[in-house]
Amino acid sequence: MQTIEDITTDFEYLDDWEDRYRYLIELGRALPPLPEDAVNDENKVRGCVSQVWLTSEADDANPPHLTFRGESDAHIVRGLVAIALALYSGKTAPEILDIDAEAVFGRLGLQDHLTPQRSNGLRSMVNRIQSDAKQALAPA
């Protein structure tokens, strides 16, 4: 999986938004599929027009590191899932909560080139990831 730094560099290299959309689709295609049993109502991200599912696993470290996996039924949205995973997966819960996703998405130019529905869906993914990070920090 590519890092968010790699993705940012690739976005800067691509001048045309048609090329960036194709790149988003490629990022989505590179995501490993979720197991069938993970594509369920519990893992579904609310607030996305397209179908999006996210899973998270926290390790036993203090603070815990979270690993995210995701999937979507829409090509471009699957690429947005890949960007969100590159931004958050493998980080500690406090690091996840400190990330300014809007700033990162702004550097990529996503706010200006996504439909309002896709922007809302991306925001819903970020909210879900941050919620999972908060839950990982909560006492058992």
Query: In whole angstroms, how far apart are CA 121 and each of 19, 44, 81?
Result: 22, 12, 10
Positions marked active-site: 48
Residues ≥6 apart with Cβ < 8 Å to 69: 32, 34, 38, 54, 55, 85, 89
| Separation between Cα atoms, residue 96 and residue 84, nearest integer Å | 11
Helix (H) or strand (E) holding 78: helix 75-88
